[in-house]
Amino acid sequence: MKKLIKVAVNDFRLVFRDNSLKIFIVLPLLTLVFTRYAVPYIAGTYSVLLEYIPIILMMATTQGATAFGFIYSMVLVDEKDTNVAKVYGILPVSKVWFVVFRLIPPFVLAALTTFLLLLVEPFYGLPVIQSLVYSILIGLLVPLMILFVAIPANNKIEAMTWQKLFNLPLALPVLAFYLPTSFSFLFIIFPTFWAFQGLDSLIKGGNFWLYMLIGFAYSILLIVLMIKRFIRSHFQ
């Protein structure tokens, strides 16, 4: 257990030592400030923007997950590129728990920044418990992104390409709000679909908990499958 915690803490320290990654730590805070102050001002000036506030909020809540997912995926890709992963592979610890412990800090950071954003957003006054549950679901995007990038990428250049590919399905589910309901099934394979539908239901008084339940089950299933795939490739 102590070794697992030590590795997780070391990952966190690496982020602050790498100047190229530090900027991404600030991005979630900038998003929070923008949502709290800039969006209300712009919406007050251009009232047509008001109908798009839910979409803006959905995209804003994913920025923490995107930022911390990118940061930690770079850490894992770098250790693969420098063959440090092979050293980790011979540690006398469970590889599953080894990976899980390393995914916990970015997950917590992403969930926390999302939760803070929902607490300060000035539009809807969302319930605290539901906001926390939604934030945790959004936080699960972090391990998905980290694993999605770290599994195929062998260096940071490849990692940036895979990260951009991940961002596309991250945002695509917002199209479900502008297409006929019969086309919604096209987006159910994307984890953010369930999160976005849940937030929309929370705002409009729909079936929030059903979307959260499906979203959690689906995201956790994907994470489990990807961890198994990651273990087979990362430590070799």
Contact 31, 60 (CB under 8 A): yes
Q: What is the pLDDT of residue 88?
A: 67
Q: What is the pLDDT of residue 142?
A: 93
Which residues 6+ apart lie within 8 Å of 177 measured at CB? 54, 55, 196, 200
Q: What is the pLDDT of residue 105?
A: 86
pTM of the model: 0.90
Q: Where are the domains of the chain?
A: 2-167+188-234
| pLDDT reading at 87 higher than 70 | no
Distance CA 193, CA 22 (A): 30
Query: What percent of the chain shows pLDDT beyond 90?
Result: 37
Query: Higher-confidence residue: 214 or 84?
Result: 214
SS3 call for 235: coil
What confidence category does residue 12 fall into, taking pLDDT thresholds of 50, 70 and 90? low
List C-alpha distances in Å: 34 to 28, 57, 87, 132, 224. 10, 11, 43, 20, 35
| pLDDT tens-place string over residues 147-182 | 999 888 888 788 888 888 888 888 899 999 888 877
Mean pLDDT within 177-193: 87
Nearest in space to 150 (alpha carbons), one of 162, 140, 139: 162
Q: What is the pLDDT of residue 152?
A: 87
Mean pLDDT within 214-228: 95
Tokens, residue 221: 């299933």
Distance CA 2, CA 228 (A): 23
| pLDDT tens-place string over residues 20-75 | 666 667 788 888 889 999 999 888 888 888 889 999 999 999 998 888 888 888 88
List C-alpha distances in Å: 106 to 126, 142, 145. 24, 7, 11
Side-chain-facing half-sphere of 81: CA atoms under 13 Å: 15
Q: What is the pLDDT of residue 46?
A: 84
Which residues 6+ apart lie within 8 Å of 38 measured at CB? none
